[in-house]
Amino acid sequence: MKLYGYWRSSAAYRVRIALNLKQLPAEQVSVHLVNNGGEQHSDAFHQLNPQHLVPALVDSEDGAEFSLTQSLAIIEYLDEKYPQPSVLPEQIKDKAIVRAMAQSIACEIHPLDNLRVLQYLVKEMGVDENQKMAWYHHWIHLGFSALESQLVQYSGRYCFGDNVTLADICLIPQIYNAKRFNVALDKYPNISRIWDNCHQLSAFINAAPEQQADAS
């Protein structure tokens, strides 16, 4: 398998964690999101993902290569193809709760605070640095406040009980991103605790942006 990603992309970071948890080897191919106007817009990458977003996972079946997009779809693909250790609980209801936590990050926080959106605000709308940071902080606090109260109900050592799930896989890259933008996390004791607990695990440590070959 080949994972097309970028060291600082939260979505690629999620897939790296999942690959590490399952101890699956994948060649890492760097798609630089800033240099050359963004390599994700190249013709070559367009063939892999017409959305011009990382990650894309290239895998093969009966000798034919194919490309998969969207980090959560890629992770569920890996989870179905290589079920051990699973990143979803067994019970249908529990699975829904974990997927919902993951989506509360992937659908409500990350899309608003990622690079292309911040670039649009600055370049197309002419917002200043303060407004940009207020925007970033607004959506992360809204999302983390809601998640924190769900964690009071459901968390154990990790977001859902004592096993690592898709929710942790989404949460850690989002916290990493928040720290980069100087978001104070003291209001979120469960989120902070889960950050610490996940960083006891090599799967998370080795997936961190600074550990990647394309980190600069």
Residues that bind a second copy (CB under 8 A): 49-53, 59, 61, 66, 68-70, 72-74, 76-77, 80-81, 92-93, 95-97, 99-100, 103-104, 106-108, 110-112, 117, 120, 124-125, 127, 131, 134-135, 138, 143, 145-146, 149-150
Cβ 86 vs Cβ 79: under 8 Å = yes
Q: Which is nearer to a second copy, 61 or 186 (CB)?
A: 61
Helices (H), 39-128: 43-48, 71-81, 92-106, 110-113, 115-123
| CB closer to a second copy, 143 vs 209 | 143
Please identify, using beta-carbon distances, which residue of 134 and 184 lies nearer to a second copy.
Answer: 134
The least CB distance from residue 26 to a second copy, in Å, is 15
The one-character DSSP state at 99 is: H
Residue 85 or 206 having the CB closest to a second copy: 85
The CA–CA distances, whole Å, from 213 to 17, 165, 188, 192 equal 15, 26, 32, 27
Nearer to a second copy, 42 or 201 (CB): 42
**From the CB of 138, what's the least distance to a second copy, in Å?**
7
Q: Smaller CB distance to a second copy: residue 20 or 114?
A: 114
Residues sharing a CB contact under 8 Å with residue 114, sequence separation 6 or more, in sequence order: 10
**Residue 17 Cβ, how far from a second copy at the closest point, in Å?**
18
Torsion of CA 102, 108, 114, 117, to 10 degrees: 160
Least distance in angstroms from the C-beta of 81 to a second copy: 6
Would you put residue 70 in left (φ > 0), alpha (ψ -120 to 50) or beta?
A: left
> Are 143 and 104 a contacting pair, CB within 8 Å?
yes
Residue 13 sits at the vertex; the CA angle it makes with 7 and 17, to the nearest 5 degrees, is 130
* Bridge pairing between strands 56-61 and 64-69: antiparallel
Closest separation in Å from C-beta 100 to a second copy: 4
Q: How far is the CB of 46 from a second copy (least distance, A)?
A: 8
